[in-house]
Amino acid sequence: MTRVYDGIIIGSGHNSLVLQAYLAKAGLDVLTIERRAVIGGGAATMEDPRFPGFLHNTHAFFQRAITSMPWYEDLELERHGAAYIEPELNVVLLTSDGRALEWWTDFQKTVESFAEFSRRDAETLQRWRDEFVPIVQNILGWEGRSPPLPPDQRRALLQRSAAGRRLLEVSELSPIEFVHREFESPVIQAGLLFFNGLREVDLRERGFGHHIAALLASPSKAQMSRGGTAALARALESAVREAGGKFQVMTEPKKIVVEGGRAVGIETRDGELIRARHFVASGLNPQQTFLDLLDLDVLPRAFREQAERFQYNLIAPLFALNLNLREAPKYAAASHRPELDRAFMVIMGLDHVDQFPDIVRHHEAGTIPPTVMWGACPTLFDPSQAPDGMHTAFMWEKLPYRLNGDPANWDRLRDDHGRDMLALWKQHAPNLADSVLGSFTRSARDVERCLPNMREGDLLVGAFSRGQIGYDRPFRGAGHYRGHLSGLYLCGSSSHPGGNITGLPGYNAAQVILGDLGIKAEWAPPSIADRLAGLV
Ligand SMILES: Cc1cc2nc3c(=O)[nH]c(=O)nc-3n(C[C@H](O)[C@H](O)[C@H](O)COP(=O)(O)OP(=O)(O)OC[C@H]3O[C@@H](n4cnc5c(N)ncnc54)[C@H](O)[C@@H]3O)c2cc1C
């Protein structure tokens, strides 16, 4: 007997789960299929098989403002077991001469830290924050939680308000132009460009100058999930199941079945046909969705070409060193700054803004630059992620996918590079010399093996670049969560507003799918066009 659901979602990343939960709560019978044995995609936590009880978050760890996301409350995730921690000393950049640039949840403390490097920069920080808070609150925040507008319509609406015009004006710059024009301390400039890189924005690309200003004004700080990032996936899964949603793991689609120009189900690799009355939504990347899963005769040439052109890794992907520890890292700089013992995200190897052009050159050449890395010791804030009294810690570095021209080189050189990272870490935290019980590394190639939608290990599931953002993500014609066939939708990070744990592609796709089915989404925000038009 062929099984029939109202809808089928392919891939169980957190965006798919957010979508499924809203649809199931609206009364639809929805099945999600997943190729792995576990639900949640990059919202993953694994136990080191050689060291029982040591948990590692091998993909996402730092999650920005999850507790303020609309779906977090709508889906009652705390009732389903989610809990978040937001450490006060949120980020610290340790310089090689023992100084520390600090970002606190308390903005005034951040201003004081900036002032230690430059009084003028501290004032600039305050000024940009004051100017951009309303822009973040009234424009950028809402744009992230709404299906995107066509660029011309967006621009015309933004031109009508002072805040909108200011946003357009600042956007014209590239991040590096913004930083050099506004700030003077090379450490502060470096720290700001680092954050820009964390969000995967090319520092040279015009059109992204507002990113750093938005970051300075954003109330969203890095948070971590108690119990590991997988706890978020478990809470979402529980919300889905409670609403009647279903899962089928270790299942891959062979193709999306199309009849009469409409997506009507999937055929699995095991040969099973599963039918969908209303929709098939893909949480995968555009190459998988359009090129791998659709027959050529139902794929218009323009769509095929655009899907083929979809790009990954504008900036290099991540390499990870993970440690099991007898004790937490103790930073030498904490001898005169005790707060560093409770720092959340720690950045090392970055002293000067002029390091960036060299890093970019290395990434483009496929070689390893002098190490700039960042990470955390999760167990300082959540002891449940290691056995009693023990710790886990990790460092990430952006390194090219094609190492010396070939990604396969990573399998040979991975552990050597992990040793180099540990050497730098020990310079800042000498106690690591005696406290490492075990370690492992993961390259972008390992990421891709685990989650093939993250092609070339791209954690955003597609570069965040002009032509691949907003209405044009993944490409024009598919940037509205709808494919070219009726009943076919996109809901993963290759759609607006992109990758990282935000849940917003899934949240926005839910608005579009429910709208197309004529089901009112009481929880949906007012239209973004009306909101922008109402600004003065
Ligand atoms: C090393 C690393 C560190 C990261 N750190 C952070 C961080 O600190 N903060 C942050 O916010 N984000 C981070 N990310 C990014 C974050 O993990 C992703 O952007 C996010 O998981 C994407 O969510 P998604 O819902 O779009 O899909 P994914 O989480 O990628 O899930 C996609 C799902 O689809 C499944 N799938 C793939 N192909 C198929 C197929 N053919 N058939 C069926 N199922 C399939 C996969 O198995 C997976 O379960 C990191 C990523 C990496 C790799």
16 burial class (0-12, 13-18, 19+ CB within 10 angstroms)? buried
pLDDT, mean of residues 449-475: 95
| Sequence-distant (≥ 6) Cβ neighbours of residue 321 within 8 angstroms | 373, 375, 394, 395, 396, 397, 418, 421, 422, 425, 439, 441
Q: What is the DSSP string of 122-140?
A: HHHHHHHHHHHHHHIIIII
Which residue owns the Cα nearest ligand 1 atom 5? Answer: 60
Quick one: pLDDT at residue 219? 83
**463 near 312, Cβ under 8 Å?**
yes
Mean pLDDT over 18-37 rounds to 98
Q: What's the 455 CA to ligand 1 centre distance in angstroms?
A: 10
Pairwise CA distance, residues 266 & 30, whole Å: 13
pLDDT at 203 over 90: no
What is the rounded average pLDDT for all residues in the chain? 96
Q: Check residue 170 and give its pLDDT.
A: 94
Average pLDDT (454-467) is 93
- Please state, in angstroms and rounded to a whole number, the distance separating the CA atoms of residues 103 and 302: 46
pLDDT at 202 over 80: no
Atom of ligand 1 at shortest range from CA of 40: 49
Give the chain's largest Cα–Cα span. Answer: 72
pLDDT at 206: 86
Å from CA of 352 to ligand 1 middle: 32
Nearest CA to ligand 1 atom 21: 42
Model confidence over 54-111: pLDDT tens digits?
A: 999 999 999 999 999 999 999 999 999 999 999 999 999 999 999 999 999 999 999 9
Given a cut of 80, whether residue 200 has pLDDT beyond it is no
pLDDT at 526 over 80: yes
Strand-pair category, 253-259 with 262-268: antiparallel
Which amino acids bring their CB within 6 angstroms of ligand 1?
10-16, 33-36, 41-42, 59-63, 252-253, 283-284, 288, 318, 320, 447, 451-454, 459-461, 492-493, 499-501
245 CA to centre of ligand 1 in angstroms: 21
- Render pLDDT for 217-266 as a digit per residue (tens, 0 to 9): 888 899 999 999 999 999 999 999 999 999 999 999 999 999 999 999 99
Which residue spans within 174-252 are E strands per DSSP?
Answer: 222-225, 246-248
The confidence band for 1, taking pLDDT boundaries of 50, 70 and 90, is confident
The phi, psi pair for 281, rounded to 5°, reads: -115, 135
Instruction: Please compute the mean of the pLDDT values over residues 358-366 and round it to a whole number.
Output: 93
CA–CA separation, 339 and 409 (whole Å)? 40
Residue nearest to atom 14 of ligand 1 (CA): 60
The per-residue pLDDT for range 255-290, each reduced to its tens digit, is 999 999 999 999 999 999 999 999 999 999 999 999
Q: How confident is the model over 104-163, as pLDDT tens digits?
A: 999 999 999 999 999 999 999 999 999 999 999 999 999 999 999 999 999 999 999 999
d(CA 425, CA 244): 47
**Predicted pLDDT at 204:** 81
- What gap in Å lies between CA 60 and CA 230, rounded to an integer? 9
Rg (CA), the chain: 23
Q: What's the pLDDT at 201?
A: 76
Q: Is the pLDDT of residue 198 over 90?
A: no
What atom of ligand 1 comes closest to residue 251's alpha carbon? 43
